[in-house]
Structure 1
Amino acid sequence: MLQLATAIKKSEIADNIFELVLKTELHKYTLRPGQFVHVRVSKSTEHVLRRPISISNIDYDNNEITIVFRAEGAGTRKLAEINEGETLDFLMPLGNGYDITAAAGGSHVLIVGGGIGVPPLYELSKQLKERGVKTTHVLGFNSKKDVFYEAEFKNLGETYIATADGTYGSAGFVTDVIQKLGTDFNQFYACGPKVMLKVLDETMPMDGFISLEERMGCGFGVCYACVCETKAGGHLKICTDGPVFEKGAVVL
């Protein structure tokens, strides 16, 4: 589970959004879209806690994974300073990913992402397409400077962009775009801010899956730092029971 990787490519793909391609012993694992790595961002004791970062692309042929993150806190800003050729250590694979088998071949699903919740949906859409599932993507960002992966998603299916300030794509939120598209889909998959997920969870008429963004301590269920309440009255750990949950399972 503890894994070493070499950074082979780093790019700033949007404002303060970095894409990092890592070469590692990927052949030892079977990964699911929506799972994450828990990265040690520094060798010093200044940043003791690892940072959970979702996997946006899986390349078994080249033993590479891609992670995308926003450099906004001290830890992720430190991670953004990594140079190509340097080594990272992380825990992998962690979390409960999306169930791609829930979408039958020939079905049509809606994929909804918000901000830094967009990256894990790219690998999800790739794998769904390989299964013969048609995907429509609605991606929301704050502003034009924050938009990334538009071309990548367009290569997989119809893609719509919404920006809160109206500087690119449709003005408003992903829910505004969905209202125009309608809800004639077999299922939906989503990842993004909790307020966005709450609206989708309460209004989408079809079954679906949501992935929560959450700060974590250990990443594997020991510290209980990322507990969420279920609608049935119990509690679940986002790091092990999630981050992906079925629609209606947890309190948002």
Structure 2
Amino acid sequence: MPLGKGFGIEPGLGRAALLGGGIGVAPLKILGRRLDAMGIPHDAFLGFADARSSVVAREFPGAEVATMDGSVGTHGTVLDAAGTLEGYGAIYSCGPNPMLAAVKLAAADNTLCQLSVEERMGCGNGSCNGCVVPVRGGNYVRSCVDGPVFRAEVLAW
């Protein structure tokens, strides 16, 4: 069983954008299936370092792909592949923290934006504090217990 809290799907928000980077694309496959089952339309945007690491994109028919070296899809980041995020009622993203920070900045203030962090989780029960992430107000939360999915406005980056 996964640790912490997953993506919270809120029906009625319209089309959703799924943005994944590197190993962060894996949980988006399951999320996409859940959205399909609920009848929520969505688009997937996936970012990788190169063609070799992008082979998992085959699991996402119709996804827009970006590679940092330009060997597959758009040359650049997952946000380069996505273009604008305007018009999406919900944004769900998983990937490295710099990518998540960029997604947070690109998301409209009135859009539901949930970010799944990729922190190392030492103990898995919150006692070691090895997986903390900064939140607004100068505090930290444990991603293994309080996350790993957070609303974008909660995170302090």
Residue 131 of structure 2 corresponds to which residue in structure 1? 226
Query: TM-score, normalized by length of structure 2?
Result: 0.92
Is the counterpart of residue 176 in structure 1 residue 85 in structure 2?
Answer: no
Q: Is the 8 A contact 2:85 2:106 kept in 1?
A: no
Q: Is the 8 A contact 1:103 1:187 kept in 2?
A: no
Q: How does 1:1-252 map to 2 (within 5 A)?
A: 92-100=1-9, 102-104=10-12, 107-154=14-61, 158-179=62-83, 181-205=84-108, 206-252=111-157
Q: Is the 8 A contact 2:85 2:107 kept in 1?
A: no
Query: TM-score, normalized by length of structure 1?
Result: 0.59
**Does the residue aligned with 1:240 lie in a helix, a strand or coil?**
helix
Once residues 190 and 197 of structure 1 are traced to their aligned partners in structure 2, the CA distance between those partners, rounded to angstroms, is: 7
1:14-65 Cα offsets, whole Å, 9 max, x none, are xxxxxxxxxxxxxxxxxxxxxxxxxxxxxxxxxxxxxxxxxxxxxxxxxxxx
Report how far residue 182 of structure 1 moved. 4.8
1:47-84 Cα offsets, whole Å, 9 max, x none, are xxxxxxxxxxxxxxxxxxxxxxxxxxxxxxxxxxxxxx
Once residues 69 and 132 of structure 2 are traced to their aligned partners in structure 1, the CA distance between those partners, rounded to angstroms, is: 33
**Does the residue aligned with 2:100 lie in a helix, a strand or coil?**
helix
| Structure with max Cα Rg | 1
Report how far residue 178 of structure 1 moved. 2.1
Report how far residue 99 of structure 1 moved. 0.5
Residue identity opposite 2:57 in structure 1: E
Once residues 123 and 251 of structure 1 are traced to their aligned partners in structure 2, the CA distance between those partners, rounded to angstroms, is: 27
Count how many residue pairs are aligned between Structure 1 and Structure 2.
155
Residue identity opposite 2:148 in structure 1: P
Report how far residue 95 of structure 1 moved. 1.2
**Does the residue aligned with 1:175 lie in a helix, a strand or coil?**
helix
Once residues 129 and 4 of structure 2 are traced to their aligned partners in structure 1, the CA distance between those partners, rounded to angstroms, is: 14
Between structures 1 and 2, the one with greater helix share: 2
Once residues 123 and 39 of structure 2 are traced to their aligned partners in structure 1, the CA distance between those partners, rounded to angstroms, is: 37
**Does the residue aligned with 2:42 lie in a helix, a strand or coil?**
strand
Once residues 140 and 59 of structure 2 are traced to their aligned partners in structure 1, the CA distance between those partners, rounded to angstroms, is: 36
Once residues 141 and 152 of structure 2 are traced to their aligned partners in structure 1, the CA distance between those partners, rounded to angstroms, is: 14
- Percent identity between the two aligned chains: 35
| Higher-RCO chain (CA-CA 8 Å, sequence separation at least 6) | 2
Please identify runs of 4+ aligned residues in structure 1 that moved more than 3 A: none
RMSD across aligned positions (CA): 1.5
**Does the residue aligned with 1:208 lie in a helix, a strand or coil?**
strand
Report how far residue 227 of structure 1 moved. 1.4
Report how far residue 207 of structure 1 moved. 2.0
1:202-232 Cα offsets, whole Å, 9 max, x none, are 2211221000001121011111111122113
Residue identity opposite 1:185 in structure 2: Y
1:152-198 Cα offsets, whole Å, 9 max, x none, are 211xxx4100000000111111111222x552111100000111100
The unaligned stretches of length 5 or more in structure 1 are: 1-91
The unaligned stretches of length 5 or more in structure 2 are: none
